Structure 1
Amino acid sequence: MRLAVLDVGSNTAHLHVVDAHPGGPPQSVFRLKAPTLLADSVDADGALSDEAVDRLVSAITETVDASRRHAVTDLIPLATATIRDATNVEEIRDRVREVTGIELRSLSGEDEARVTFLAVRRWLGDSSGAPGAPAAPLLLLDIGGATTEIAAGSGEQPGFAVSLPLGAARITRTMLPCHPARRRDVEAVHRHVLRSVRPYASAVPAGALQVATSKTFKQLARVAGAEGRLTLRGLHDWIPRLTAMRPEERAALPGVAASRSRQLLAGAVIAAATMEALDIDHVDVCPWALREGLLLRRITELSRS
């Protein structure tokens, strides 16, 4: 069966088309990213601007048309936190439905964390080389545009999951107005994240595998020179350098897209402060995330029907 997930976020509408069979991992067929660039288009009342909604509808139209060209039989359209939390979300959904025929869905932040946890657990299982072995405890970190998710537990469902309003785009917009950034602003973000995350430190199981996912963590791992793993030491080395850079200088770093260069510093500070609050010194970066989790969950549902 040919399935697709359309992940509509603050930077892009990302379509991933796969061929899926029960009992096996989804096989990638086609990907398309269409820019949404919503991060700087939220007004003081929490609504997306008319121009941003136009970009959003155009991006969704492009990706939905592509899914039809690739004969997708089951499309999972997901609007993540920037759209889900917009005060004009119902108007946005109406526009998308009228133009594309697609009904945008949303999950709560905690449910997104649970679905992403499933994807990471399956990825670890596929790469462990030890089928049937007891699952080690897992800690998952995921920094998005509007929120940061933390989940932990054993098995395929976390015993603990939380979504916090600490996304890289949100923090950039609200707390890091200048680029190069002011040191006092960076320190304020660090303190804010520490205060927000520390209450959840006791939920992290001892000896847990420490895994992160999301574009933010992938970019930071490449910038810090250890692709596939991000260390707290590497973040501490790079945060002062990122603070002193203009967005166009950050965009020249390996793996950093121009559309995300402004929020890279916030991502780095959020990552570092979260790791400090949870008392971990590194995370391994997983290539599977929310999109893969949605596909895996849908394959399981279809196999049971």
Structure 2
Amino acid sequence: MGELVGAIDCGTNSIKLLIGTPPAVVLRESRVVRLGQGVDTTGELSQEALARTFAAIDELGGMLRDLGVPPERTRFCATSATRDARNAAVFVEGVRARLGVTPQVLSGAEEAALVYAGAVGPLTPMPPEPVLVVDIGGGSTELVLGEDGPRESTSMDIGSVRLHERHLHSDPPTGAQVAACVADVERHLDDSGVDVASARTVIGTSGTIKTIACGVLGLAVYDRDAFDGAELSVADTLDFCDRLVAMRVEQRRALPYMHPGRADVVGAGALIWTRILARALGPTYRVSEADILHGIAASIGTSTGS
């Protein structure tokens, strides 16, 4: 095994760490920090969200040190919430002080390319192309359509946290709130420039899609080995998502595979996923555990995070 690298993805809802020698994974951890709470309304990262995130970074930094991963072999990527926040410099300085690494605030195009590389890189053999990779985050959703590499991509400013805060104010959401959320998603898909219907294979990654996969499979726990590589029915997924959106938050939290920090916003994520699947023509899709973290880890050595 070669030298270990550390990949960190800090999004709107969660911060994730992968340590390994790609494609091998030694450690993977995730913490729900809701960094982007309120950013869609205020345009700033709140002090409470920064405190939660810095506490998680302190914890993940300890894991990097324990496994001997130095700053020069660590890449820290920040995505939607940090792109959109006026006070992103406060976040950047806080990360640098804690880890000795300067976080890279990815553009939407950079994020999409890493999502595609992470999900498609481990596949042997390649599935039928074009391949559409979908990553539903807290603040944005990446669509990447590829054939021998990314061909069309977009980072849409719709994510589970952003749309939950924008539309789904009741528990459970009302029919009118759901309709407004769906209309918002449809507008972004119309303007995305990505031909979803042309995909011969759809691969879903990210915490939202993996959690939904656990529900479709009826798992008793959040089991990466059970959903990684699974081929699931679109019809079964649409049916499960309808039920998930209609649940109260306390009912979602009671699901054995549901992270409590995801329970309130997963309904908005489910609405995004259903509208994408409805535009795809195939009856099934694949779920991938490999995601943007794997893309970030594979890039270390070609991009520096120090």
TM-score class, shorter: 0.7 to 0.9
Q: Do the aligned residues in 1 keep the contact of 2:203 with 2:285 (CA within 8 Å)?
A: yes
Give unmatched runs, 5+ long, in structure 1.
none
1:233 corresponds in structure 2 to 235
- 1:218: Cα distance to partner? 0.7
Number of aligned positions between the proteins:
289
1:287 corresponds in structure 2 to 289
The CA distance in 2 between the partners of 1:70 and 1:97, in whole Å, is 19
- 1:201: Cα distance to partner? 6.8
The CA distance in 2 between the partners of 1:222 and 1:150, in whole Å, is 22
Counterpart of 1:152, as a letter, is: L
Calculate percent identity across the aligned residue pairs.
28
Q: Do the aligned residues in 1 keep the contact of 2:144 with 2:194 (CA within 8 Å)?
A: no
2:96 corresponds in structure 1 to 97
- 1:215: Cα distance to partner? 0.9
Counterpart of 2:68, as a letter, is: A
Change over 3 Å in CA distance of 1:115–1:43 after alignment to 2:
closer
Q: Match of 2:121, SS?
A: helix
The CA distance in 2 between the partners of 1:119 and 1:238, in whole Å, is 27
Change over 3 Å in CA distance of 1:134–1:224 after alignment to 2:
closer
The CA distance in 2 between the partners of 1:201 and 1:94, in whole Å, is 35
Match of 1:138 among 109, 131, 135: 131
2:76 corresponds in structure 1 to 77
The CA distance in 1 between the partners of 2:147 and 2:138, in whole Å, is 27
Structure 2 counterparts to residues 1-305 of structure 1, below 5 A = 1-18=3-20, 20=21, 25-42=22-39, 44-73=41-70, 74-125=73-124, 128=125, 136-155=129-148, 157-200=149-192, 203-204=195-196, 206=198, 208-225=200-217, 227=227, 228-298=230-300, 301=302
CA offsets, 1:20-67, max 9 Å, x none? 2xxxx4322223334423343437321111111111112112211220
- 1:180: Cα distance to partner? 0.9
The CA distance in 1 between the partners of 2:37 and 2:201, in whole Å, is 35
**Which stretch shifts more, 248-257 or 25-34?**
25-34
The CA distance in 2 between the partners of 1:211 and 1:199, in whole Å, is 21
Q: Do the aligned residues in 2 keep the contact of 1:248 with 1:258 (CA within 8 Å)?
A: no
Change over 3 Å in CA distance of 1:172–1:229 after alignment to 2:
farther
The CA distance in 2 between the partners of 1:149 and 1:134, in whole Å, is 20
The CA distance in 2 between the partners of 1:295 and 1:255, in whole Å, is 26
Change over 3 Å in CA distance of 1:35–1:290 after alignment to 2:
same
Q: Give the alignment's TM-score, normalised by structure 1.
A: 0.86
- 1:171: Cα distance to partner? 0.5
Q: Match of 1:210, SS?
A: strand
Change over 3 Å in CA distance of 1:82–1:199 after alignment to 2:
closer
Q: Do the aligned residues in 1 keep the contact of 2:152 with 2:193 (CA within 8 Å)?
A: no
Q: Give the alignment's TM-score, normalised by structure 2.
A: 0.86
**Which stretch shifts more, 263-272 or 203-212?**
203-212
Counterpart of 1:219, as a letter, is: T
Q: Match of 1:283, SS?
A: strand
Counterpart of 2:51, as a letter, is: D
Q: Do the aligned residues in 1 keep the contact of 2:114 with 2:295 (CA within 8 Å)?
A: yes
The CA distance in 1 between the partners of 2:256 and 2:114, in whole Å, is 29
CA offsets, 1:117-149, max 9 Å, x none? 112222222xx2xxxx89732111111110011
- 1:103: Cα distance to partner? 1.2
- 1:229: Cα distance to partner? 3.6
Q: Match of 1:15, SS?
A: strand
Return the structure number with greater relative CO, CA threshold 8 A, min gap 6: 2
**Post-superposition, which runs of at least 4 consecutive aligned residues in structure 1 deviate over 6 A?**
none
Counterpart of 1:89, as a letter, is: A
The CA distance in 1 between the partners of 2:127 and 2:237, in whole Å, is 32
